[in-house]
Structure 1
């Protein structure tokens, strides 16, 4: 019997992507495209940002209160951060290795590259560097949680939610009404998420249309080597590095990607991992991971486990050095790794984070900051790839932590995967 075609969310997003590219290409250079299409993308991103904070707060409080034991939570937190540090370090090394082997920045005609204004990123970097890493760590503890919620300061929100969750667990039965309130909030917000996702294809159409109309597909030509290498390295990292980690814990990276195909396509087209955070949390729970582990690992991973971003930062730094004919010694490259390990964590949640991290890092090994202005024009295209890697990396981290804690449910995984296969 012939399988009936279903126009699922993934196909709707793909249609929005193709239409956006077509409209952007046809009306390349026409400012009217941005005028009329940008609001569609902005509204969609705003709707997602609107629901992310309530979901993170409610699910983290439920997860932490559900764990209850501060020792158990500390154990999970310690294991999670060790895993994040190991995988992001591997990502940095893969990026450096790819840049050194394939030399994407050599032989590039600098005059053929279009410069983009990066002054706003420089200002952000200067303020962050002036504050220093110690101040960044100090600012994780919020003085005003309402202000932190309003600004979307993720590290401060996570810190408060964990403490509040422990408080709810500590007061026992008196905390049950509070827990019921946050459980209801989480359930309601997941319903709102499913409603917002229906707007995703229109949002994707607007975002992609504006990007293509602004920069044109030809913007890739002088920087083609970098773009191709970034995408190839990201694919290698997913299939080989994350694939081996998945195999080691008894699952398949391809199975995980198949379950998350809608979310990966949406993350790719919007270049924002925030857009899929609520759905990823919902799906990983259905995939067999316990609610409290999902609620802790994924929001924390959004600040500390950005595999795609760190890989890209390492590769881009070497690319810029090669573009200027600067040879970096092994010592300088090790310094680059160490600096990236710190800055990529310390600047989590900063607007234009990858650029800010690169700006803060390049100077430490004598690479001209101006080089970033040449790759800023195609940063959106590169950002799409690194966002997908970030999403897969955090989803896999949830499975790894669940298995490490001996709490993963393989039957749930098989049942959910089989249900996904039927819908495909």
Structure 2
């Protein structure tokens, strides 16, 4: 009852919404001031990234060690990756289909030679440095400790999985350490709650910078691409993910309402990582087992990027259409095959989607990489939609895998989703499990 009577202005949802609105106003009316507020958004994202490594490590280790059945862990991982591959490919297909149907770049008749490719060069350089072999080797940290200082999610995940498996095989000798790690997990999630007090400030600074730096007028020039991308992403979430959710026994709209605070935080910061710890806590509160949440969510941030995949196929065809480059069915299938590989490992942070796009176009010679200069100015606006779609996709993936395992109480899940937020009892139960 106390939670229900909480003043509306104390809600993170309302605070972040107000902050985003103020950020847009400041960036629009005082663009120089808005652009100068970038450190506020960057600072908040750094705070969250600081805590993500221990969140992932502790959640995965305590989840695996507490599971005991390592065969079950392998089964969950296999199901998660199968889901990721299917949904990522489907997102690419949807993007290609919409791009061919709407033709957002048709009629622009851009001469590639006239484009200023200077700002694109750095992204292309990073893209050339990203190969499949390099990506796989990069999962392995240089040392056990460097995994925690590099900020690479997959490196932390690898170390956490190995540590959790080793701890699970120690029997009673590992119980004392497991108990200590659970207590430490509770402390880390308490830190997350403290950091969230700064979320409105971060959202305000990030949005003010975006509008102040690039201007609302930038949106007009490439409005058709932006509208097409947002509409396609919305279609994917409501229809494709909505159908998956329906088959799994829950409502996608109820899930979106349940994670609305986190979605607004992602919108304000253009980074899905900023809300990862909160998403994990809410999914646990909804009844998803901790081992599944600890494995699927962090892994999904690198392997289940529905929004990024839609963006890549749409943007690639937009550039081809704008530059009057005809792509055959074979060219588009090649593009999709390359994108399936290049999208893996792209983090949910602003700019990663642009780098992955550069990597994809570098392998498909018929599309001029220089054409990326056309969308550089609006990429920041589209990164927000990428992050939102990725975020919802990973929330759905976690529940689906948990449902696939028969490890979630559907009555409880529907009740929590319908309520719009976890009850005080659910939060207390999770905290007691961690402590």
Q: TM-score, normalised by structure 1?
A: 0.93
Partner of 1:123: 125
Partner of 1:382: 382
In 1, are the aligned partners of 2:350 and 2:380 still within 8 Å (CA)?
A: no
In 1, are the aligned partners of 2:128 and 2:362 still within 8 Å (CA)?
A: no
What CA deviation, in whole Å up to 9, does each residue of 1:26-68 have, x standing for no partner? 112x2x4333x22221221111111111100000101111222
In 2, are the aligned partners of 1:145 and 1:157 still within 8 Å (CA)?
A: no
1:18 aligns with 2:52: no
Number of corresponding residues: 415
What CA deviation, in whole Å up to 9, does each residue of 1:215-274 have, x standing for no partner? 110001110000000000000000000000000111110011010000011111211011
Change beyond 3 A, Cα 1:248–1:101 = same
Shift of 1:115: 6.8
Partner of 1:192: 191
Shift of 1:382: 0.3
Change beyond 3 A, Cα 1:114–1:269 = farther
Change beyond 3 A, Cα 1:297–1:18 = same
Change beyond 3 A, Cα 1:263–1:114 = farther
In 2, are the aligned partners of 1:308 and 1:388 still within 8 Å (CA)?
A: yes
What CA deviation, in whole Å up to 9, does each residue of 1:178-213 have, x standing for no partner? 212221222111111111111111111111111111
- Spell out the pairing of 1:143-154 with structure 2 (5 A cutoff): 143-154=142-153
Partner of 2:427: none
Tell me how far apart the structure 2 counterparts of residues 137 and 97 of structure 1 sit (CA, whole Å). 30
Structure 2: give runs of 5+ residues left out of the alignment: 424-435
Change beyond 3 A, Cα 1:113–1:200 = farther
The more displaced of 116-125 and 94-103 is 116-125
Tell me how far apart the structure 2 counterparts of residues 338 and 47 of structure 1 sit (CA, whole Å). 36
- Spell out the pairing of 1:271-282 with structure 2 (5 A cutoff): 271-282=270-281
Partner of 1:325: 324
What CA deviation, in whole Å up to 9, does each residue of 1:313-365 have, x standing for no partner? 11111110001001100111111111111111155579832122111111333
- Provide the secondary structure at the position in 2 that maps to 1:96: helix
- Provide the secondary structure at the position in 1 that maps to 2:375: helix
Shift of 1:415: 3.7
Partner of 1:402: 402
Tell me how far apart the structure 1 counterparts of residues 411 and 65 of structure 2 sit (CA, whole Å). 26
Change beyond 3 A, Cα 1:16–1:110 = farther
In 2, are the aligned partners of 1:320 and 1:367 still within 8 Å (CA)?
A: yes
Shift of 1:422: 10
Change beyond 3 A, Cα 1:113–1:408 = farther
In 2, are the aligned partners of 1:246 and 1:253 still within 8 Å (CA)?
A: yes
Tell me how far apart the structure 1 counterparts of residues 142 and 402 of structure 2 sit (CA, whole Å). 33
In 1, are the aligned partners of 2:109 and 2:323 still within 8 Å (CA)?
A: no
What CA deviation, in whole Å up to 9, does each residue of 1:11-32 have, x standing for no partner? 111110111111111112x2x4
Shift of 1:120: 2.1
Tell me how far apart the structure 1 counterparts of residues 220 and 49 of structure 2 sit (CA, whole Å). 34
Change beyond 3 A, Cα 1:393–1:346 = closer
Q: TM-score, normalised by structure 2?
A: 0.91
Tell me how far apart the structure 1 counterparts of residues 110 and 29 of structure 2 sit (CA, whole Å). 28
Change beyond 3 A, Cα 1:293–1:54 = same
Tell me how far apart the structure 1 counterparts of residues 153 and 422 of structure 2 sit (CA, whole Å). 37
Partner of 1:156: 155
What CA deviation, in whole Å up to 9, does each residue of 1:258-313 have, x standing for no partner? 10000011111211011000000000011111111111110110111011111111
What CA deviation, in whole Å up to 9, does each residue of 1:358-403 have, x standing for no partner? 1111133321111111211111110101111101100111110111
Shift of 1:417: 3.1
Partner of 1:42: 42
